[in-house]
A and B are shown apart, each in its own frame.
Chain A
């Protein structure tokens, strides 16, 4: 798992470079969700750029679509996309590399952007897996601010009704949204209880810890008759003290000075891992 953590700092740099090149992006949520995406794409999901339409592949929908820069970085590292192309194209005129997932790009299954869509779409995918007797698993990542969308709860209700044990959803619980602390904007008290009361298997982990994330996804595979929700407690802006736990880094573009500090912080943490 350590090599993935080391990789994550290279990918964090890619994310920041994409944002600097495109002069925009949702950097804070990119940093909180990145370790979840790396664990899924490099440790968990059966998916390959050589066979992107494999009917048995695992399916992923980035419900918090604004974290697309993290998604781009992971899809590049996995071989679906090319990093130099992403940096050149991101947010430019007439590009496919827009600020939310676009299924005209390789590796992206569904368009997203508007919140509260990923989980219900994944229910359809998971139901299709059951109907077609296929063993693939379906994953989605939502933001915690996203949980205020009513459509999320329609889906939470339906997933357990259909006993979708091939579905695993993740909440990127970074506790910040654009207006500030999630608990001040719309609180999610007893979040674990809420999902459990809808008959979900719920696992709460440190969402920036690879061992914990991987163990949670492994546990989810063993659960029968109900879907699994992983509450990934993350730090928004994770990787550099410049951004960590700061609401104004929701979609801030670093200044050159901040950029240099952020990259130096990434490097420092990566070096520390290498010398452990």
Chain B
């Protein structure tokens, strides 16, 4: 089992590049520990800005720095970053088109037992609805590394959500196909397609194996790019299939499922089932306990596919 959380990988990549690129600037809102960015603050104090517990300030200051040529990475728990500073993300980052990468850490229900205030089950919907904002949810540490490497090459706004805990590897260091804004097809099958992002990719991969044992062959798509959604891959994979299942650690509205459904409904109508968190305060527990409770696991995905293909 992998022991490295995606947030630590973000720190590693930024540190590697910060050695030679003095414009890389990291901002935290008393969140350097929870964001795994303390090593960056330690190694590059002149490229690190602490704003205290003030998420609105965090994002606006990042935008001002970016306006003056800095490549800014503003990291804060996703629950606060995507709601408390939503307007700053909309106006100062997306609307003013500043080179700010918003890193939403401990996203989704990573803070399971801390309650709804600490859950970010609305961030895909919220951030995707802002013009000029891109939304990424990498599935494992290897993909996270490629994503951050790619983001360092552009000057556009983006929101990246990662979870708190280490997640199982989907890829290997040697084998992590990555193309910016293109989904990765992990499995090809003709009966149904599973489309997931972030931590929900792993149970889809597991489900595909279990389904194969039952004689059902499914495609598995890692749609780390919620926005811009890779609509071409959605259409290619959904076309001719009886069933599309989306899986996400998000509210049932406005997230990956909604976006995939729009594309499928328009381009290649077929049945789409959206597996997501409920439209209700989420039960407390570890991520695993919460996912199991709502069927956001391999067994739940298998059951959904089998039932809907009958």
Q: Do A and B bind each other?
A: yes
Contact residues of A with B, CB < 8 Å? 55, 59, 103, 109-114, 116-117, 120-129, 131-132, 150-151, 154-155, 157-158, 161
With A110-B96, A121-B64, A131-B65 given, can you name 5 additional A-B contacts, CB distance below 8 Å?
A110-B67, A120-B64, A124-B63, A129-B68, A157-B52
Known interface pairs A111-B95, A127-B65; A121-B46 also in contact (CB < 8 Å): no
- Interface presence of B249 (CB below 8 A): no
* Smallest CB separation, A150 vs chain B (Å): 7
Interface string of B26-68 (1 = CB under 8 A from A): 0000000000000000000011010110101100111111111
Q: How far is the CA of A154 from the CA of B59 in the complex (A)?
A: 12
Interface string of B69-80 (1 = CB under 8 A from A): 110000000000
Stretch at the interface among B86-94, B163-171, B254-262, B298-306: B86-94
Q: How far is the CA of A114 from the CA of B96 in the complex (A)?
A: 12
Determine the chain A residues whose CB is within 8 A of the CB of B66 once the complex forms.
Answer: 124
Cβ of A113 and Cβ of B67 under 8 Å apart?
A: no
Cβ of A109 and Cβ of B67 under 8 Å apart?
A: yes
Q: Taking each of A59, A128, A157, A158, which has the highest tally of chain B beta carbons within 10 Å of its own beta carbon? A: A128
Known interface pairs A123-B60, A131-B46, A150-B56; A114-B69 also in contact (CB < 8 Å): no
Cβ of B67 and Cβ of A151 under 8 Å apart?
A: no
Known interface pairs A132-B69, A154-B54; A110-B92 also in contact (CB < 8 Å): yes
Cβ of B57 and Cβ of A155 under 8 Å apart?
A: yes
21 contacts between A and B (CB under 8 A): A110-B63, A110-B92, A117-B60, A117-B91, A120-B56, A120-B57, A121-B63, A121-B92, A124-B60, A124-B65, A125-B68, A128-B65, A128-B69, A129-B68, A131-B65, A131-B70, A151-B60, A154-B57, A157-B52, A158-B54, A158-B61
Determine the chain A residues whose CB is within 8 A of the CB of B51 once the complex forms.
Answer: 154, 158
Determine the chain A residues whose CB is within 8 A of the CB of B25 once the complex forms.
Answer: 131
Determine the chain B residues whose CB is within 8 A of the CB of A157 once the complex forms.
Answer: 52, 54
Cβ of A132 and Cβ of B64 under 8 Å apart?
A: no
Cβ of B49 and Cβ of A151 under 8 Å apart?
A: no
Contact residues of B with A, CB < 8 Å? 25, 46-47, 49, 51-52, 54, 56-57, 60-70, 87-88, 91-92, 95-97
Which residue on B lies nearest to A161, using beta carbons?
B52
Known interface pairs A111-B96, A154-B57; A124-B64 also in contact (CB < 8 Å): yes
Q: How far is the CA of A121 from the CA of B46 in the complex (A)?
A: 19
* Smallest CB separation, A125 vs chain B (Å): 4
Cβ of B60 and Cβ of A120 under 8 Å apart?
A: yes
Q: How far is the CA of A116 from the CA of B56 in the complex (A)?
A: 10
Q: How far is the CA of A113 from the CA of B91 in the complex (A)?
A: 9
Determine the chain B residues whose CB is within 8 A of the CB of A128 once the complex forms.
Answer: 64-65, 67-70
The 6 closest A-B pairs by CB, nearest first: A124-B64, A120-B60, A128-B68, A154-B57, A124-B65, A124-B61
Which residue on B lies nearest to A110, using beta carbons?
B96
Our pick among B56, B62, B91 for the contact of A124 (Cβ within 8 Å) is B62
Cβ of B69 and Cβ of A123 under 8 Å apart?
A: no
Determine the chain A residues whose CB is within 8 A of the CB of B49 once the complex forms.
Answer: 127
Cβ of A103 and Cβ of B96 under 8 Å apart?
A: yes
Q: How far is the CA of A117 from the CA of B96 in the complex (A)?
A: 12
Determine the chain A residues whose CB is within 8 A of the CB of B95 once the complex forms.
Answer: 111
Cβ of B56 and Cβ of A121 under 8 Å apart?
A: no
Q: How far is the CA of A20 from the CA of B93 in the complex (A)?
A: 33
Determine the chain B residues whose CB is within 8 A of the CB of A116 once the complex forms.
Answer: 56
Our pick among A59, A127, A154 for the contact of B56 (Cβ within 8 Å) is A154
Q: How far is the CA of A123 from the CA of B47 in the complex (A)?
A: 15
Which residue on B lies nearest to A138, using beta carbons?
B64
Which residue on A lies nearest to B61, using beta carbons?
A124
Our pick among B46, B47, B65, B91 for the contact of A125 (Cβ within 8 Å) is B65
Which residue on A lies nearest to B49, using beta carbons?
A127
* Smallest CB separation, A121 vs chain B (Å): 4
Which residue on B lies nearest to A55, using beta carbons?
B69
Which residue on B lies nearest to A118, using beta carbons?
B60
Our pick among A103, A122, A150, A161 for the contact of B64 (Cβ within 8 Å) is A122
Q: How far is the CA of A274 from the CA of B166 in the complex (A)?
A: 74
Cβ of A117 and Cβ of B57 under 8 Å apart?
A: no
Q: How far is the CA of A116 from the CA of B54 in the complex (A)?
A: 13
* Smallest CB separation, A58 vs chain B (Å): 12
Which residue on A lies nearest to B90, using beta carbons?
A114
Cβ of B92 and Cβ of A117 under 8 Å apart?
A: yes
